[in-house]
C-alpha cells in the first residue's frame, strides 16, 4: 500500500533505535490486515519535544524503548495501573489526542514462556532487577507464578520482590545455593554485546530448571541457552518475548487481532537479513 494523505502513522522512539526489528514486524502486520498505516523508527533524544510533535502530527501509536521507558510516563495523559506499578511504559496509544501509556512487555514475557509450559503455580527465578525484570516479574506474578528475584545488588532485588510479593537473593554462588525452581528467566544484559560467551549464573545452577528463557536476542542462542540445552532444559529465546509484546501492541493500537504468524515471519526474515549484512 502506497502512503497517502490518509495513512496513519506509528513508530518507535528510543536512542539509539535504528537497529530496531519492530518496523519489520508492524509494517508486515499492517499490510496483512489491509490497514493504511506505516510504522517508522524515530531516534529521539528530546523526549518532551517528540511527544508534543506526536500530538501535533496525530501519530496514532508508539513503541517506547531504551532510554525512554520510564521518563515517558511524565509526558502522558494517563498510564494504566500495571504500567504504573512496573514503573515503565513501552506502548503509547493516541485516543482523541490523549496519550495513554501501557506496558506490553509483561504480557509478552508470559506468552513467550507459555509456549514452553503454563506459568501458573510454577516456581520461576528471574535474574536481574532492572526495567525489563520489573515487567517480567509483574507479568509472571499476575499470571499466578511464584517468583524469586536474584540480582547482583541485593537491595534492588529486595525492592522489586517486595513490590510483587516475591522472594529475593543475591546472584553469587553462595546466595543461589538454596535457590531452584521450574523456570529460569534472564533479564540482564549478560551474554550480549562484546561478551557473547558470558553467562549470568554458574553453569551448574542452570541445571536446576526445566525451562530457561533469555530476553537477550543478539546472539539468538546465548551461552545461557546453550548451557541449558546441554542440561536437557527447554529454551525460549529473546525473539519470542519481542514478538509477543509487539502482538499486544498491535492489538492495543488497532482493536484488531494481530496477524501473529505474519509478524513472526517478518521478524525471522529481518534477523536473517541482519546476519547476512553482518557477514559482508
Q: How many CB atoms lie within 10 A of CB 52?
A: 12
pLDDT means per 10 residues, the chain with 280 residues, are 92 95 98 98 97 96 95 97 95 96 97 97 97 96 98 97 97 94 96 87 96 94 97 97 98 98 97 75
**Alpha helix ranges (H) inside 58-104:** 81-86
pLDDT for the residue 202 = 95
- 141: Cα separation from own chain's centroid: 16
User: 21 to each of 24, 165, 172, 248, how far by Cα in Å?
Assistant: 6, 34, 34, 16
Query: What architecture is domain 107-236?
Result: 3-Layer(aba) Sandwich (3.40)
Q: CATH topology of 8-103+243-278 equal to that of 107-236?
A: yes
Instruction: Give CATH for domain 8-103+243-278.
Output: 3.40.50.10860
pLDDT for the residue 280 = 42
pLDDT for the residue 195 = 80
State the Cα angle at 213 between 208 and 217, rounded to 5°: 140
Longest alpha-carbon distance in the chain: 62
pLDDT for the residue 278 = 66
Distance CA 38, CA 7 (A): 7
pLDDT for the residue 193 = 74
Q: Residue 80 in contact with residue 92, Cβ under 8 Å?
A: no
In the chain, domain spans: 8-103+243-278, 107-236
pLDDT for the residue 128 = 97
State the Cα angle at 225 between 220 and 231, rounded to 5°: 155
Q: Residue 99 in contact with residue 253, Cβ under 8 Å?
A: no
Counting Cα atoms < 13 Å in the Cβ hemisphere of 73 gives: 17
Using the structure block, give the residue that is written with the C-alpha cell 506505516.
38
**Alpha helix ranges (H) inside the chain:** 22-33, 47-57, 81-86, 105-113, 131-142, 154-163, 203-206, 223-230, 238-254, 260-278
| Residues recognised as catalytic | 69
- Classify strands 61-64 and 91-95 as parallel, antiparallel or unpaired: antiparallel
pLDDT for the residue 1 = 74
Amino acid at each position: 500500500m502506497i502512503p497517502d494523505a490518509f495513512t496513519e502513522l506509528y513508530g518507535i522512539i528510543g536512542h539509539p533505535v535504528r537497529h530496531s526489528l519492530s518496523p519489520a514486524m508492524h509494517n508486515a502486520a499492517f499490510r496483512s490486515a489491509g490497514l493504511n498505516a506505516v510504522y517508522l523508527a524515530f531516534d529521539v533524544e528530546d523526549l518532551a519535544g517528540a511527544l508534543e510533535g506526536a500530538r501535533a502530527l496525530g501519530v496514532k501509536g508508539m513503541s517506547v524503548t531504551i532510554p525512554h521507558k520510564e521518563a515517558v510516563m511524565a509526558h502522558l495523559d494517563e498510564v494504566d495501573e500495571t504500567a504504573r506499578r512496573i514503573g515503565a511504559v513501552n506502548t503509547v496509544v493516541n485516543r482523541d489526542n490523549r496519550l495513554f501509556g501501557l506496558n506490553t512487555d509483561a504480557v509478552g514475557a508470559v506468552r513467550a514462556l507459555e509456549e514452553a509450559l503454563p506459568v501458573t503455580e510454577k516456581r520461576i527465578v528471574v535474574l536481574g532487577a532492572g526495567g525489563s525484570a520489573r515487567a517480567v516479574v509483574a507479568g509472571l506474578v499476575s499470571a499466578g507464578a511464584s517468583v524469586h528475584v536474584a540480582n547482583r545488588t541485593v537491595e534492588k532485588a529486595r525492592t522489586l520482590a517486595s513490590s510483587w510479593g516475591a522472594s529475593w537473593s543475591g546472584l553469587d554462588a553462595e546466595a543461589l545455593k538454596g535457590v531452584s525452581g521450574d523456570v529460569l528467566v534472564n533479564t540482564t544484559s549478560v551474554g550480549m554485546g562484546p561478551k557473547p560467551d558470558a553467562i549470568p549464573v554458574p553453569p551448574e545452577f542452570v541445571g536446576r530448571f526445566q525451562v530457561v528463557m533469555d530476553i537477550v536476542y543478539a546472539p539468538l542462542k546465548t551461552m545461557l541457552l546453550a548451557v541449558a540445552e546441554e542440561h536437557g532444559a527447554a529454551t525460549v529465546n529473546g525473539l519470542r518475548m519481542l514478538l509477543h509484546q509487539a502482538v499486544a501492541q498491535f492489538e492495543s493500537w488497532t482493536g484488531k487481532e494481530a496477524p501473529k504468524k505474519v509478524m513472526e515471519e517478518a521478524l525471522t526474515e529481518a534477523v536473517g537479513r541482519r546476519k547476512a549484512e553482518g557477514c559482508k
